[in-house]
Amino acid sequence: MITLVTDSTAYLTKEEADRLKLRVVPMHYTIAGNSYTEGFADENKNFVDKIAANQDLCATAQASVADFVGMFQAIVHQGGEVLCVVISSRLSGAYSSACIAAKAVDAEKVRVVDSRTTAGGLALLLKKAAKLIRQGYPLEDIVAQVKKQREKTGIAFSVEDMESLRKSGRLSIVRQSVGAILNIRPILCLEKDGGALVCAGTARGRNAQMQALADRVPENAVEVIIESLGSAYIAPALAERIRARLPHAAISRATLGPVLAIHIGLDVIGVAWSVE
């Protein structure tokens, strides 16, 4: 039996995780000296207000080797195998932690895949992996197919305030002058070949921002996840734009959580997709 494992930045609800039969290793964060564990997407209560009130006193911590070892050991000791798919190694050290843990537990029975994405992109890869597990494919075949699926999965997002990204050290590729003060917003993506953050252009105003994100979704996308924090009307408006272009695609919505919020801000709109 293969058990699917991921980290909390997939931002699945508890119900979604149960339906996919996967287990989640939590990431960690601190606000004003208080430590927290990131949970399922529907369990991270009141983090927006806490981060907003303490923006200079927030930090995150990757899931540790010990976190992954505990999860992997419990599965392997029961005779199972593990497929662990985690946030891009260019964004977090969670992949490194999981790889070290896999070697410590059983390198043959625990395989770790760098998703090269996060949030909705990670969730889409997990759905693909869960489907392959249900269909009875062996572990090595699933690893190979998930890696192929990475090339068919994309993610793009935009923010209102880039201060959080600047503090995170991941925004050197965007001009410092770009920002809401000029009504210009960046369109940011993750590279498919490495999972690093890159700038795909800018948009002036909300309408152009939503259109730019909608246009990033390929015509042959079969599933789309719109993920957001902040202004409530933006996500449904973006969904309508994408639905008008891609009436055949399955479109759902998700809410981002505290770990990514600390790094990218509290007013975020993004879209993830997978193609055939």
Helices 119-134 and 139-150, interaxial angle, to 10°? 150
pLDDT, position 242: 97
Torsion of CA 256, 43, 123, 88, to 10 degrees: 60
pLDDT, position 168: 66
Q: Which CATH number fits domain 2-150: 3.40.50.10170, 3.40.570.10, 3.30.360.10, 3.40.50.720?
A: 3.40.50.10170
Tell me: pLDDT of 174 over 90.
no
pLDDT, position 176: 46
Average pLDDT over residues 222-226: 98
Q: Structural domain boundaries of the chain?
A: 2-150, 153-275
Among the listed residues 17, 275, 23, the one whose alpha carbon sits nearest the alpha carbon of residue 149 = 275
Tell me: pLDDT of 127 over 60.
yes
Tell me: pLDDT of 173 over 60.
no
No. of H helices and E strands in the chain?
10, 13
Q: Which amino acid is at 135?
A: Q
- Greatest pairwise CA separation for the chain in angstroms: 58
Q: How far apart are CA 165 and CA 158, in angstroms?
A: 11
Residues in the chain, overall count: 276
Q: Please give the mean pLDDT across all residues of the chain.
A: 92
Q: How far apart are CA 69 and CA 106, in angstroms?
A: 10
13-71 pLDDT, tens digit each: 999 999 999 999 999 999 999 999 999 999 998 999 999 999 899 999 999 999 999 99
Residue with the larger pLDDT of the pair 196 and 168: 196
Tell me: pLDDT of 179 over 70.
no
pLDDT, position 181: 55
Confidence of residue 231 (pLDDT cuts 50, 70, 90): confident
Tell me: pLDDT of 123 over 90.
yes
Tell me: pLDDT of 96 over 90.
yes
Tell me: pLDDT of 177 over 50.
no
Domain 153-275 top-level CATH class: alpha beta
pLDDT, position 276: 81
Average pLDDT over residues 213-234: 93
138-168 pLDDT, tens digit each: 999 999 999 999 999 999 999 987 777 777 6
pLDDT, position 185: 87
pLDDT, position 191: 82
